[in-house]
Amino acid sequence: MHDLRAIRENPESFDRGLARRGLEPMSSTVLDLDSRRRAAQTQLQEMQARRNEAAKEIGLAKREGRDAQPLMEEMAQLKERLPQVEEEEKALGAELDGLLASIPNLPADDVPEGPDESANVEIRRWGEPKAIADAKQHFELGEALGLMDFEAASRMSGARFTVLKGGLARLERALADFMLDIHTGEHGYTEIAPPLMVRDNALFGTGQLPKFEEDLFRTGDHYLIPTSEVPLTNLVNDQIVATEELPHRYTALTPCFRAEAGSAGRDTRGMIRQHQFWKVEMVSVTAPDQSEAEHQRMTQCAETILQRLGLPYRVVTLCTGDMGFSARKTFDIEVWLPGQSMYREISSCSNCGDFQARRMKARCRPKGEKQTQFVHTLNGSGVAVGRCLIAVLENYQQPDGSILVPEALRPYMRGLERITA
């Protein structure tokens, strides 16, 4: 959510930020609604005060034997008009809140400008892509091994689901355990087992609602989480935390559920884009002056996973046209996939500044002070388990169709060195 005071003080800066996002200026619309709502609030307060004052005057007039009829008529008019003004103030407030809730976070000053992923800026690369003759894609490898069954998944669930068997099912579990052990044991994250179903207020807090409801799966009064960013970030929903205790770092392994409403025709084969997938998520809650350093640290934590697995990757800064709704700056980590002969996203690490905190009313207070300030929130994949499995399959494929298990994973695979049919 955006700071109305900041928009009032510098509407030009707000409009420049929107322009960088490819949006039309909106400050005049926001400020007009704000002005009308505040005027309605003032009118309401004045009418309520006059009602209270008139009630006293009526009582005094009756005690003194004076004619109270004019005052009683005024009171009747106030009682009739007050609900109308209350409704007007409420409607203007709802309209303003709805407008502000639909506006994405403004990009940080150093975010590159551009309309789409073509304008993303590469920062660094790690590892050399392997030269693999006649490299196959993960679904070709998995199906040939008889351990990846899309047809069975389709019979029970439809498109964009997968059944993993045997060595590949174990590999997925091993990858998740491996990631959690590193993030909790080496990087200081606290492991959380969060709810997989949340109410709409939690999704509003992190920015999925109301704008992206079509990408969510709903069941009754709850939604299935599209990422554990939602419950992890909402751990500080409507809370005031001690500034000296920050940063808070959380990690979780959960299934994620996404409708992929806008992905018709994209990655229809294989496991790249699924309705259900596993992900290890990282979330940090920081003081405002900590978030930029925490953003770099979080990205490096995700990179550690790929380095230990020997998977080549690159890190890019997303441009203004490719960033997510709640992010003010995002680093994507893209892993090399020999079967596609290209880098594909495997982790997205975003600094959201105070954008989510304002929606959640999440604040911090220094010890001994009365004044609070909004915390900053960050989230990142540490990493997407299914996509990491894809990367391992394609980068460790052997000429005979088997998959070599990366050394770092072998303790998690009970010593298994190779996955075969």
CA gap 311, 315 in Å, rounded:
13
Residues making up the annotated binding site are: 227-229, 258-260, 281, 345-348, 379, 381
Among residues 272, 83, 256, which one has the least CA distance to residue 160? 272
Examine the residue annotation and report whether 50 is marked as an active-site residue of this protein. no
Cα-based distances in Å from 272 to 278, 340, 389: 12, 11, 10
CA gap 287, 291 in Å, rounded:
7
Examine the residue annotation and report whether 345 is marked as an active-site residue of this protein. yes
CA gap 158, 217 in Å, rounded:
15
Among residues 307, 338, 308, which one has the least CA distance to residue 133? 338
Examine the residue annotation and report whether 387 is marked as an active-site residue of this protein. yes
Q: How far is CA 284 from the centre of its chain?
A: 12
Residues making up the annotated binding site for ATP are: 258-260, 345-348
Angle CA(305)–CA(309)–CA(313) in degrees, nearest 5?
70
- From 170, 358, 363, 387, the catalytic residue: 387
Cα-based distances in Å from 238 to 33, 327, 374, 377: 26, 20, 11, 14
- Cβ(333)–Cβ(346) under 8 Å? yes
- From 21, 258, 297, 328, the catalytic residue: 258
The torsion of the CA quartet 307, 313, 319, 325, rounded to 10 degrees, works out to -60
Examine the residue annotation and report whether 273 is marked as an active-site residue of this protein. yes
- Cβ(302)–Cβ(251) under 8 Å? no
C-alpha dihedral sign at 19, 22, 24, 29: negative
**Beta strands in 167-291, from DSSP E residues, in sequence order:** 190-191, 197-198, 218-219, 222-224, 240-242, 248-257, 276-286
Query: DSSP secondary structure string, 31-86?
Result: HHHHHHHHHHHHHHHHHHHHHHHHHHHHHHHHHTT---HHHHHHHHHHHHHHHHHH
CA gap 103, 18 in Å, rounded:
8
Examine the residue annotation and report whether 51 is marked as an active-site residue of this protein. no
CA gap 277, 290 in Å, rounded:
31
Among residues 417, 412, 403, 407, which one has the least CA distance to residue 146? 403
Q: Which residues contact 328 (CB under 8 A, 6 or more apart)?
A: 105, 106, 107, 108, 111, 350, 351, 352, 353, 355
- From 348, 358, 363, 394, the catalytic residue: 348
Residues making up the annotated binding site for L-serine are: 227-229, 258, 281, 379, 381
- From 88, 213, 292, 345, the catalytic residue: 345
Catalytic residues: 258, 273, 345, 348, 387
